[in-house]
Amino acid sequence: MKAEILIVDDNSDIRNILNELIVDAGYKTRVAANYNQALNEIDKKIPDVAILDVKLDKGDHDGIQLLSHIKSKSKDVPVIMISGHANIEMAISSLKHGAFEFVEKPFDQARLLNFITRAVENLNLKIQNKEYENKLFSSFDLIGNSKNIATIRDQIEKISVTDSRIIINGPSGSGKELIARKIHKKSKRNNKPFIILNGALLDNNKYELELFGEEKIDGSISYGALEKANKGTLLIDQISDIPLDIQSKILRVLIDQKFKRVNGSSDIKVDVRLICSSSKDLKSEIEMGNFREDLFHRINVFEINIDPLSDRISDIPLLIKYFSKKITENYNIKDLEIDENDNYILNHKWKGNVRELRNLIERIAILQPDSKDKISNIIKESLKSDHFQEKVSENSLSIPLKEAREKFEKEYLTIQLKKFNGNISKTANFVGMERSALHRKLKGLGIKEFN
């Protein structure tokens, strides 16, 4: 599909020269002769690339205003600024507002065409990266046979058909965003936007701008997450990290179903399903004064809790098989022969949870080892700091043999129970004990059985 270039210049000769040059290069074009025409073309359809004259009919810097307007709609669109009255200040201002390049008139046609080619390549690369990331993430399934994952699957099926607000609790890397995406995908809003606002990654002075958007002095509008998610779903990730004053404004939006943009005077009404996630215990955050209790009750209509990966060891072999297949397909390499029952993997603490496991498998795929031994060495090297045997040995040096043996047995049997999802018969068979003997051993060690 040909890229479409918007040409904005109040000089008809320059418009014609640019139009002919760009069409001959194989691109499609649209043209505008003044500020209002340009604004209309931009609002009608965002171009793939824009070429803007800095000075049009509205003032000395109305091209900069158009640049800001384009960037408020899509940050990825490359904009080339041109001017016959160029100076350093103007060039710096253009680049600070997000211009791809700044070109002085009269311009060298070959040089300008090179900038356009680079701009189109830059845009295509961003689109391809986004498509790859979205395809990769959207195609991921919620993998596991643990009781926790089975419960979450059931919850997703039941709550996706509603518009209820949801809190997803779980440690970092456990799959909270994946759960939110699954809910959106199965909901009646699935063909509308899914927008993510990460509360942990924003500067304190940008929360309002990112949430509510801004009406700028030049008349342009920067849209916030709430408007971008209109008719769709907004995921506020790590909502516990959002400051109290912004929490109160979110609460007001939930109560009134409307808000004002920063520097705006008109109410904006939106229809958004809100999903929030947190790696912190929000009830504890309320007790410490870090989170508003009234907001908690507004967003906590339904709660989903995902366990750490170390608490659902039975899911690890399935995840290894799944990610190995997905990642080798994406890298177009031969299948990875990873032992799903590798002790280094099963005994690892997985502080980074599913994300850490996925990263390990991706690292193996990138290195492309040609034998099982080399794969095993990569795993050991990657996970050696938390290796179970090393930790047990280190902790056992200062205690009597009987206590060390009990400590080892307790940790060993706890891990095996998790590995077999609490199934006593399978655990007993694997460890070489009679079922009744294992029951007695678990009771003697104070290990609680689970189903």
The DSSP secondary structure of 75-94, one letter per residue, reads TTS-EEEEESS--HHHHHHH
Q: What is the pLDDT of residue 402?
A: 66
Q: Note the pLDDT tens digit of each residue in 247-278.
A: 999 999 999 989 999 998 889 999 999 999 99
The residues near 310 (Cβ < 8 Å, ≥ 6 apart) are: 348, 349, 350, 418
Q: What is the pLDDT of residue 271?
A: 92
Q: Note the pLDDT tens digit of each residue in 352-406.
A: 999 999 888 888 887 778 788 888 888 888 887 544 444 444 444 455 656 666 7
Q: Note the pLDDT tens digit of each residue in 190-247.
A: 988 999 998 877 777 788 889 999 888 877 788 899 999 999 999 999 999 999 999 9
Q: What is the pLDDT of residue 422?
A: 82
Q: What is the separation of C-alpha 29 from the centre of its chain, rounded to a whole number of angstroms?
A: 34
Residue with tokens 């643990």: 146
262 three-state secondary structure? strand
Kindly state the DSSP code that residue 199 receives in the 8-state scheme. T
Residue type for 75, please?
K
Q: What is the pLDDT of residue 127?
A: 75
Q: How confident is the model at residue 338 (pLDDT cuts 50, 70, 90)?
A: confident
How many Å apart are CA 433 and CA 420, to the nearest integer? 15
Q: What is the pLDDT of residue 392?
A: 44
Domains in the chain with CATH codes: 4-133 (3.40.50.2300), 151-306 (3.40.50.300), 318-386 (1.10.8.60), 389-445 (1.10.10)
Residue 49 to residues 14, 117, 132, 310, 378, Cα–Cα distance (Å) = 17, 10, 22, 48, 45
* 1-15, 72-86, 180-194: the lowest-pLDDT one: 72-86
Q: What is the separation of C-alpha 327 from the centre of its chain, rounded to a whole number of angstroms?
A: 18
CB 388 within 8 A of CB 347: yes
State the pTM of this model: 0.61
How many Å apart are CA 48 and CA 120, to the nearest integer? 7
Q: What is the pLDDT of residue 130?
A: 62
Task: State which H helix or E strand residue 437 sits in.
Answer: helix 435-445
Q: What is the pLDDT of residue 389?
A: 45
How many Å apart are CA 193 and CA 276, to the nearest integer? 16
Mean pLDDT for all residues in the chain: 85
pLDDT at 300 over 80: yes
Q: What is the pLDDT of residue 294?
A: 95
CB 236 within 8 A of CB 254: no
Q: What is the separation of C-alpha 174 from the centre of its chain, rounded to a whole number of angstroms?
A: 13
pLDDT at 327 over 80: yes
pLDDT at 58 over 90: no
- 337 backbone φψ class: left, alpha, beta (φ>0; ψ -120 to 50): beta
CB 170 within 8 A of CB 307: yes
Q: What is the pLDDT of residue 424?
A: 87
Phi, psi values for residue 416, rounded to 5°: -65, -40
CB 34 within 8 A of CB 10: yes
Instruction: Give the number of residues written for the chain.
Output: 451
